[in-house]
Structure 1
Amino acid sequence: MPTGTILVADDDAAIRTVLNQALSRAGYTVRLTSNASTLWRWVSSGDGDLVITDVVMPDENIFDVLPRMKKMRPELPVLVMSAQNTFMTAIKASEKGAYEYLPKPFDLKELTSIVQRALEEPKKRPAVDLDDAGEGMPLVGRSPAMQEIYRVLARLMQTDLTVMINGESGTGKELVARALHDYGKRRNGPFVAINMAAIPRDLIEAELFGHEKGAFTGAQNRSSGRFEQADGGTLFLDEIGDMPMEAQTRLLRVLQQGEYTTVGGRTPIKTDVRIIAATNKDLRHLINQGLFREDLYFRLNVVPIRLPPLRERVEDIPDLVRHFFTLVEKEGLPAKQIDQGALNLLRRYRWPGNVRELENLVRRLAALYPQDVISENLLEQELSQPSVSPMEEESQETVNLGGSVERYLSGYFDTFGDALPPPGLYHRILREVEYPLISAALAATRGNQIKAAELLGVNRNTLRKKIRDLDIQVMRSTR
């Protein structure tokens, strides 16, 4: 029979009653309070074996109290609950020393299971202050699927475990990788990303591990690789399923031995990086086809995270739309709102391009239309294009871009009346043009970057940099 005293703090009487009944039935002694000051008095006097508390209390935010609790009683497990179900809430709970974070509404069976585990195996977590960055949260959404991701990320922040992120294109895999880095123990080190699909297969090893002078034709000087650049920080291997077998073998050796040699080099180099990999492919299927090493898969898939497509989390669309409108307003575009009919239309849309497609749509709406409120009728015009694949869709956007720019220019200055608009118009137009233009060129050349660079009339290295910066997915050539 479980034993122990549970201290419960929540200003909602109904929640206190439910928790009291559930925990008492489980065999625990329960003490209830509606404020943080009483909870602090109990903890400071040595009462209680575990704390369950809400974040926002009438007299104080629990995140201001939690560091004092952990300093006085570092062994005391604290379960934090919150209806403010954001990524930052989960991260703050972990960084401030909470044993676990539970979004409201919570599952009573899960809560009692966590209580039992916490009392049987109390854990100490380092308490690291986290700056209040709520306005700049990297991940947005309050759906159950996103809540589970927040909880997993919070548990991983103070570890160096290798993570494999799986999700369709546009779901935010690099955002998750950056969050793991920016709020983790390696936050003061570099974050280096490399997209396997955007680099010629014969250059991937040199990009990853660097090369010595004369290692191959054109290697006129020694060059550092991404492992060297990421030393002490995080290396994000995006689209790992596109890595050729030869590079897979070398990567496996690095993960096993913690060292590598440059291309053309002989001296082993020690490496200290955290690896985060991502893919939109089924690696198990690639293994069965002989295209991906099974032993490498197990080395990378230590902690798997699946990012849901937007169609599986449509309840997050209003928050995402507001978030993107806020971002574009900070970039100098006019403030916009969206009516309920338009939101309902967004929820019904299939979103083949996921969150990235939604962000691009919001940017177009903010840039091209003078209306302060985006209506359902206006949105229907933007979403009325025939159903096409994502790559074809990007190409179609480019075809229609000239008319879009004309609409933008004709309506943009009218929005500000006699006043001058904020500076940066050139770069805003350029940003709207580059993504669909480069995507269309890659689509027309079946992903052949050399031909795409020729088509665009730019240097190949310039194109590769643009592909990385804009996070453009490159279709593999079949020619």
Structure 2
Amino acid sequence: MAKQTILLVEDDLSVSHIIVTALKADGMAVDSCKTVADRDSLLASGKYDLLITDVGLGEEDGLATLKAVKAHDPDLPIIVISAQNTLNTAVRASETGAFEYFPKPFDLDELMEAVRQAIKPRGEGVADFDAEEDNLPLVGRSPAMQEVYRMIARLLRNDLSVLILGESGTGKELVAEAIHNLGHRKSGPFIAVNMAAIPTELIEAELFGHEKGAFTGAVSSAAGKFEQAQGGTLFLDEIGDMPMHAQTRLLRALQSGEINRVGGRETIKLDLRIVAATNQNIARLIEQGKFREDLYYRINVVPIELPPLRDRASDIPALANHFLNLAATEGLPKKVLTEEGLEMLSRHGWRGNIRELKNLIYRLVVTAREETLSETAIKQILQNPHDDVIDQNGETDFATHVKSMVGKLLINAKDDNRLYIRALEEFERPMLEEVLRRASGNQIRAATMLGINRNTLRKKLTEYAIDPAHSR
């Protein structure tokens, strides 16, 4: 049997030597070169069973012309290695039709196993997509994030269910959005629903929709989140908080690939991808009888575990500068962190993870008078994370006020069973008006202060008939 022949394109002589030695020890024939021109010249012979290429080849981009290589020889498997360890690199590698992508430094045994798998007969190529690094939502080059990028790149051409695990504030929804926006369903809708934020009695109607008269208050028919996500992605956040009765119906929908609205008879075929997320220990919930084991296996086809920020401290400077730039694009003052300030941020524990870091950066931008954010300014905020006043019962003034408000609503509620909705209505309108006043009517700044999307703010203002111009 003839030896498998590999072409290696790598300009780092030490890395090239290690890979060539390992390939030859595994019984393969190897040619190597250092430039794109030499690569194309050698590939013209048509004798190679696999191409292994670095991304950075001196001044050349080893990825830029790989589409042309694939177009010329669609059956040639390609393995990409790179020291440019960003999500964009993993995505671009996937875009070329690469069999596998390895960020440097890589595990040689893993590379060799990928080589053995790659030279087996391959199936069809991959779908094309377009992505620019500046538009990608994930930042960081730590080894933990490189593995996340690799997993995302592997999911872009299929509809496998994904379960994203991680502490609160680690960016689970951002990962779900990346899977959608970079994948083959990017032209469809991305619908996110927080299971912990929906009253238990409304979950099924919220997810599956309802027909007119299906329950008290259903004055008209309405599509649920599943229907709204048709052709795209449905993101079920905090799925660990889903009640058992809704879990049963969700499992049935996933197994059958179809749903019925609450109170309806028409069967609706599903065409979407499911991405779920939780910060809870699902195995423990299963032991406690709070989560269906069969549903867990249905949604956990591909798990992605997001590291807490404390385990990727090397990414903190990049994240902090990313949020500074983001704040500036949203109309907030342009600020710069000192080296000492970045070091202090890198040493902090970040119990709230990326969300806590983003909030701190935005608070610094708004409150600090100086253009340069020093260690002193950061220390003041870290030592005083909030300004709530604690009363003698251990509650904040705000919590006491909310309890008082709820008590008044209960007195006047009678039997309309709308306490949750009425409480939101009572709170949201004055909150929006006050934040707009403090933002001088600037909707971008108000949305930033609220921590919500600008489009969400616009919808709320329309809903409550609030005119931002009155706040200027």
Q: Partner of 1:231 in structure 2? A: 230
Q: Does 1:313 align with 2:284?
A: no
Q: Partner of 2:379 in structure 1? A: 380
Equivalent residue runs for 1:383-462 within 5 Å: 383-385=382-384, 396-397=386-387, 449=420, 453=424, 456=427, 458=429
Q: Partner of 1:291 in structure 2? A: 290
Q: Does 1:354 align with 2:353?
A: yes
Q: Partner of 2:61 in structure 1? A: 61
Q: Partner of 2:171 in structure 1? A: 172
Letter in structure 2 aligned against 1:142 = R
CA distance in 2 between counterparts of 1:100 and 1:240 reads 31
Q: Partner of 2:264 in structure 1? A: 265
CA distance in 2 between counterparts of 1:302 and 1:127 reads 21
The question of whether the paired residues in 2 share the 8 Å contact of 1:99 and 1:125 is answered with no
Please identify, of 88-97 and 57-66, the stretch whose mean Cα deviation from structure 2 is larger: 57-66
CA distance in 1 between counterparts of 2:247 and 2:262 reads 14
CA distance in 1 between counterparts of 2:335 and 2:52 reads 40
Post-superposition CA distance 1:16-40 (Å, at most 9, x none): 2222222222222221111111111
- SS of the aligned residue for 2:191 comes to strand
Shift of 1:199: 1.0
TM-score by length of 1: 0.81
Shift of 1:156: 0.8
The size of the alignment, in residue pairs, is 419
Does the C-alpha gap of structure 1 residues 449 and 92 become closer, same or farther in structure 2, counting only changes over 3 Å? farther
The question of whether the paired residues in 2 share the 8 Å contact of 1:44 and 1:69 is answered with no
Please identify, of 171-180 and 322-331, the stretch whose mean Cα deviation from structure 2 is larger: 322-331
The question of whether the paired residues in 2 share the 8 Å contact of 1:37 and 1:59 is answered with no
Q: Partner of 1:408 in structure 2? A: none
The question of whether the paired residues in 2 share the 8 Å contact of 1:198 and 1:467 is answered with no
The question of whether the paired residues in 1 share the 8 Å contact of 2:8 and 2:16 is answered with yes
CA distance in 2 between counterparts of 1:41 and 1:25 reads 26
Shift of 1:144: 0.8
Does the C-alpha gap of structure 1 residues 2 and 324 become closer, same or farther in structure 2, counting only changes over 3 Å? farther
The question of whether the paired residues in 2 share the 8 Å contact of 1:36 and 1:59 is answered with no
CA distance in 2 between counterparts of 1:102 and 1:28 reads 20
- SS of the aligned residue for 1:125 comes to coil
Letter in structure 2 aligned against 1:453 = L
The question of whether the paired residues in 2 share the 8 Å contact of 1:97 and 1:126 is answered with yes
CA distance in 2 between counterparts of 1:376 and 1:225 reads 49
Equivalent residue runs for 1:178-193 within 5 Å: 178-193=177-192
The question of whether the paired residues in 2 share the 8 Å contact of 1:44 and 1:72 is answered with no
Shift of 1:127: 4.8
Q: Partner of 1:38 in structure 2? A: 38
CA distance in 1 between counterparts of 2:428 and 2:92 reads 48
Equivalent residue runs for 1:175-214 within 5 Å: 175-214=174-213
Q: Partner of 2:6 in structure 1? A: 6
CA distance in 2 between counterparts of 1:397 and 1:231 reads 44
Q: Partner of 2:273 in structure 1? A: 274
Shift of 1:450: 5.0
The question of whether the paired residues in 2 share the 8 Å contact of 1:177 and 1:276 is answered with yes
The question of whether the paired residues in 2 share the 8 Å contact of 1:86 and 1:140 is answered with yes
Shift of 1:231: 0.5
Q: Does 1:86 align with 2:57?
A: no
Does the C-alpha gap of structure 1 residues 455 and 247 become closer, same or farther in structure 2, counting only changes over 3 Å? same
Shift of 1:238: 0.5
CA distance in 2 between counterparts of 1:143 and 1:449 reads 43
Does the C-alpha gap of structure 1 residues 90 and 188 become closer, same or farther in structure 2, counting only changes over 3 Å? same
Letter in structure 1 aligned against 2:16 = R
Shift of 1:469: 5.3
Shift of 1:398: 5.8
Does the C-alpha gap of structure 1 residues 80 and 316 become closer, same or farther in structure 2, counting only changes over 3 Å? same
- Give the % identical residues: 50
The question of whether the paired residues in 1 share the 8 Å contact of 2:127 and 2:184 is answered with no
Shift of 1:121: 4.6
Letter in structure 1 aligned against 2:126 = P
Q: Partner of 2:442 in structure 1? A: none
Equivalent residue runs for 1:79-158 within 5 Å: 79-131=79-131, 133-158=132-157
Q: Partner of 1:343 in structure 2? A: 342
Does the C-alpha gap of structure 1 residues 154 and 397 become closer, same or farther in structure 2, counting only changes over 3 Å? farther
- SS of the aligned residue for 1:84 comes to coil
Post-superposition CA distance 1:124-166 (Å, at most 9, x none): 43151424x1112211111111111111111111010000111
- SS of the aligned residue for 1:237 comes to strand
CA distance in 2 between counterparts of 1:127 and 1:47 reads 26
Does the C-alpha gap of structure 1 residues 129 and 300 become closer, same or farther in structure 2, counting only changes over 3 Å? closer
Letter in structure 1 aligned against 2:222 = S
Please identify, of 265-274 and 2-11, the stretch whose mean Cα deviation from structure 2 is larger: 2-11
- SS of the aligned residue for 1:382 comes to helix
Post-superposition CA distance 1:237-274 (Å, at most 9, x none): 00111111111111111001111111111121111111
CA distance in 2 between counterparts of 1:62 and 1:173 reads 31
TM-score by length of 2: 0.83
Letter in structure 2 aligned against 1:290 = G
CA distance in 2 between counterparts of 1:198 and 1:340 reads 40
CA distance in 1 between counterparts of 2:175 and 2:17 reads 37
Q: Partner of 1:163 in structure 2? A: 162
Shift of 1:49: 1.4
CA distance in 2 between counterparts of 1:259 and 1:122 reads 32
Does the C-alpha gap of structure 1 residues 275 and 359 become closer, same or farther in structure 2, counting only changes over 3 Å? same
Shift of 1:453: 2.6
Q: Partner of 1:404 in structure 2? A: none
Shift of 1:352: 1.0
Letter in structure 1 aligned against 2:112 = T
CA distance in 2 between counterparts of 1:217 and 1:362 reads 46
- SS of the aligned residue for 1:120 comes to coil
Does the C-alpha gap of structure 1 residues 350 and 59 become closer, same or farther in structure 2, counting only changes over 3 Å? closer
Does the C-alpha gap of structure 1 residues 350 and 450 become closer, same or farther in structure 2, counting only changes over 3 Å? farther
Letter in structure 1 aligned against 2:29 = T
Does the C-alpha gap of structure 1 residues 6 and 212 become closer, same or farther in structure 2, counting only changes over 3 Å? same
Letter in structure 1 aligned against 2:80 = V
- SS of the aligned residue for 1:313 comes to helix
Letter in structure 1 aligned against 2:5 = T
CA distance in 1 between counterparts of 2:239 and 2:156 reads 22
CA distance in 2 between counterparts of 1:92 and 1:163 reads 21
Letter in structure 2 aligned against 1:340 = E
Post-superposition CA distance 1:103-133 (Å, at most 9, x none): 11112222112111211354543151424x1
